[in-house]
A and B are shown apart, each in its own frame.
Chain A
């Protein structure tokens, strides 16, 4: 299954990356603040402890163990955050406000941290303390420390809130990202949908502007300018085609008229007459090539796209097959249209008929007497496939793309009649219909296939068409 569309949008991806960077840096800042706060608090505790120690040290110097003991008793009585314990060599408490010698975790030098039980409002609580440990002469052990539960509380608070803070940040960013990308998507959707419609034919349409004059509107304005240009080029192309058509057809018309005039006037006899008739035929061939070129140009420019209508391909094929059946018969080629249901395809029936006529014409032309040509309509996953397969010599794989080009005629067919534009026209008609045109191997022979995609691009009408007529077999 694919991810929902919103997760595949650029806007969403940008938001996600931004969010990740944001969450990481936020976490880093919080962690740094925590670390430096903890450091400052420790330094403060250490300083207080050191001051305390220097006071005790002074008494010990002056008054010895007894003075120290007295000072500890006095100081312990305050019951604040200061902790003292004087113990003997076996860590048995002598004096102080700790019940027993705690297990110490050492932090370098005589710096220690430890947990102890503290009485708070009638019950015991586990507290942490930080301080220094000394060994006095005579093996006495002295521990001077301060309760750092407060700092610990802060630390705990930090570590429990940090993931939630980050999570909340990610969630808010996610919601923001979805909202932003939805906004993007809606606007892009409009642009995409309209572009598709325009590509399908109506070049005079333009993309709609938003309210804001934002980047999207700049994009729309640029696209519209491009469309303007395309439309102008197409119109130009149409005008050029029209004027070429007019300017070449008029003299061709005169040429043909003059030649015909000579023939009809009866002035030419014998060999001269034959020559003039040949010249008329040559003119007609020239006209044929010229018309085919114009038609290809028109089909390629998509001029006829507006003329598309949903038509049963089966009917078109039956018509053309019927037209060519006697020709195939005469050459003893069995021309068969394989059975199929109706296949509604949006197309220009005239152009598709002509393209198919070219394919069947070729199949008959190049298939030797006694061969066969088979036409089939199939519904494939890619769309509706119309194929013309023959048992002729086929086209070598390396020549297959080349024959579609204009005027390319393979050596083998150079001497048979034709303009060399037949397959180019089929290719142009295919392009006009967004259909795929393929030449393949029929083993032996050529298999030409046109695949009309039956995507949702052109909505199909709900109207029912009458059942196809019975094909006339050749």
Chain B
């Protein structure tokens, strides 16, 4: 055992050192340096910078305690909810191929994973320790950071225990396999019963009090006992209490570790599967969650209208992108179909809308909110455009398509998908909204509202997707290419830098267009003494037209950039 510990210690030490050196070495490149500095400044200013005792808000301590409780509650619960699907212990292919054939026992391999996690656990403890220190300046930073690190280790062991237990149940098959759904079902039940019992007014002014009430209500209170203990241990305990708390946390971790070792679960098959998934995830993003063997289309391959061969060339690209979006990984689609009803249900229950007979109003409101958020989140979620295709730039350039047509086609594909989804959501939202709740709302005005929303949503989507694609073309270093996922502190900085550029573009490009077009429509409407609905429609229509015109104009102006674009000369945020 001694030699194994020495080997793992060597691995952890060398990995941490080399990783730090690699990060520092990368900072020699300006874009990484800028990104790193921005991220560090952001963290310092908004999260870590010490606040003087006079300006520290005592209410923040209440927020903090609540936040810590929720964080640990989610950590504990997700281990049992998602434990059967790979969370908890994720191996990398290098670990599987180098450690599994090596003379190591299963517990030793798990110990390796725990030691591997130390880099992340220590960084987390330091960052969150500093964040807490800002809110609780009287609390010694060392105690807080140590407590977070200790709790992190025990929670890691807990998630491994939950993961292996659930996997073991799933592997047995038969009726036992159904048991893996039990924790998730219980959690959903507990949350709904507690929300029901608390009758919390979510969205009210007393958010902290509401959430505190929710956490104190019904069965959630029982689930919260260990979480409350952890929050007190991290934020309050001192002296003897801290020592006893530390011992309790270590004892809990040791007990869970002992159970795990005694069970000696066979995790090799699952480890291999998750290792492959991790590789795919890194390379293909969310698409990697699906098993490649299951990525086979069922049914007719001619399910989509054959747009490609007809009409202008840009339609072929629109067709390709629409087809690609339609083949999003099933996991992503399932997640969307589970999450939206869940959020709507929580909202409806939370607002006590059922008891007040306002269920339809709440559902309609949520649908409209989701539709509007579609414009903002759509370009980030649906990346089936230049952000994927620029990686195959040599293929694109070999196609007999003019630059402006190619850009238009790339932008329109995902834009149309989002727009159609929004139309459905807005239509449903307006249809279900009870007309008796608002005096002036009748069916005629609902239809007018729908007609007005159409040009605006399309123009806004088109402008935002154009912006993302123009960013990809002009500032490729600030854009994530491909489907793969990249993390890290400096990548966070890059994303922040990209967000700033997007914000600037939004200000100088979208808002003036809307204002000019909208103002023109207003002027024409007033001069023509039109009814108010017509003035609004005209303003929105002209504003939208100007926005689309400007966005398309920018795409046309970028044609030369497209023609001169050289992938090999760019430093992209993806391994090609």
Do the two shown chains form a genuine complex with each other?
A: no
Contact residues of A with B, CB < 8 Å?
none
Contact residues of B with A, CB < 8 Å?
none
